[in-house]
A = this chain, B = another copy of it.
Amino acid sequence: MAAWTALSARIRELDALAGASSVLEWDQQTQAPPKSADSRGEQSALLQRIYHERFTAPEVGGWLSELEGGALDATQAASVRLLRRKYDRAVGIPTKLVEALAVARSEGFHAWVAAKAADDFTSFAPKLQRLLDLTREQAAALGAARCAHPYDALLEEYDPGSTVGELRPMFERLGTELGTFLTAVESRPHPAAFEPKLDVEGQRRLSERVLRDLGFDMLGGRLDKSAHPFSIGLGPGDVRLTTRFMEDNFLSGLGSTIHECGHGMYEQGLPNSLAGTGLNQAAGMGLHESQSRFWENFIGRSLPFFRYLAPRMGAIWPTHDFAPEQMFGAANRVQRSLVRVEADEATYNLHIIVRFGLEVAVMEGQLQATDLPGAWDEAYRRTVGVTAPSAKEGVLQDVHWSSGLLGYFPSYTIGNLYAASFSQCMLADLPDLWEHVERGHFAPILGWLRTRVHERGHIMDAPDLFREVAGSRDPVEDLMSHLWSRHGELYGVARPR
């Protein structure tokens, strides 16, 4: 199998190149001095270009064709299937389009930064229109014709296997159910806030403690600070997390740490044994998000978790009194609001539903750039129930579109949905799960995710993996059931029957 050996060696090379790129990225966001921006940009672009050259080289197509005609074991077959799909997508986009997109993204991003600062959509509109046009072109090049919906060609990049046909009805049902839930909650008073002043160094120490307890391997990773929390794998045995701390907003920093830890433990659990197959990767961004959301929300906002946490906090800040119930209440306040990244666990999904709807309409050709502010406000009024007083809190709030990233937003809610069903399955397998959490004993939980999710890598697409784990469970129902149950006692509301 000379073709397999050659292909596998090339994939290892590409993994190493991607890892090297990630080192540059991590360093840029956490360590690099300001004047490095230009030279670092040149280095990153070069590594990406070399990656693209080596992946799209004709010999790779040749190896794939040769293998497709031969006898393969199950792993090889999965590997060749996945790599063929990625290869065809990578060679499918003409170089001219790649270059035009790179220019438009860079210009779009800078225009967006200025437009958001000036709260002025008009100056951004032409750049956005260019990005939307190029994105439609990109979808066509990526095989939109063979898809049931042109947006599916974009989804494939982040969540292979997910389709508009599946997502649209799920998101619609979820939106309706969330509306009912919100109406019930809004009739009741909010739980009290929790805003003690806690020094940043103590928060950092607590974060490291929590990471270790949850199961993040600090010999194969580290935690740093950055303006925007993120996690990134630099290669096997090297997963970096970042978080941020605010003296007067402890819960926010804690949530970021646990969220990134969920991503990081997924990366640490990916199957090294599949190096050189392309299968030692996450099976999609939605599935990745399911891991972070599971830990952040299902575990990290639970009362048993705050019972585990309170004495550890007391050891760091002995003059404070930490009541688990108060932290639990404060961590689960629900409120319709304007800004996605600050939204609570329930309403967060409404922000995604709005964006998904707009992106689908753009890809259907129903919306142009200049239509977006109006469509945005209308969708927010209808779906979230709030209206932004300014473009910067409205249509200009997210960076994604300014970089031509359409198709990414759904991952967040896909993640919440997967996490909800995984949680229900896990509870069935681990009936004393909450006692484990309260004792800070997270190994059985991580073990469950390792076996069913992490160690599978990208052996199949996330929707198939989800069905293998969760069977015919209904994730919308599982998410709503979790939300009603979590908030029921807190707000004194019961789900209508």
Which chain A residues have a beta carbon within 8 Å of chain B's beta carbons?
Answer: 12-13, 16-17, 19-20, 23-24, 26-27, 31-40, 42-43, 46-47, 50, 217-222, 234-238
Contact = CB atoms under 8 A, between A and B. Distances in A.
B235 A33 contact: no
A73 to B, nearest CB: 25
Nearest to A237: B35
B31 A16 contact: no
B35 A217 contact: yes
A219 B34 contact: yes
Contact of A33 (B13, B24, B32, B237): B237
Contact of A20 (B46, B218, B236, B238): B46
Contacts of A19: 39, 43
Given A27-B27, A32-B238, A35-B238, 19 more contacts: A12-B42, A16-B39, A16-B43, A23-B43, A26-B27, A31-B31, A31-B222, A33-B218, A33-B219, A33-B220, A33-B237, A34-B220, A35-B237, A36-B220, A36-B234, A36-B235, A38-B236, A39-B235, A39-B237
A33 B222 contact: yes
Contact of A46 (B17, B218, B219): B17
Contacts of A27: 23, 26-27
Contacts of A39: 16, 19, 234-238
Nearest to A21: B20
Contacts of A217: 35
A13 B48 CA distance: 12
A46 B220 contact: no
* Those 8 A-B pairs whose CB atoms lie nearest each other, nearest first: A39-B235, A35-B237, A36-B238, A35-B220, A20-B43, A16-B43, A16-B46, A39-B236
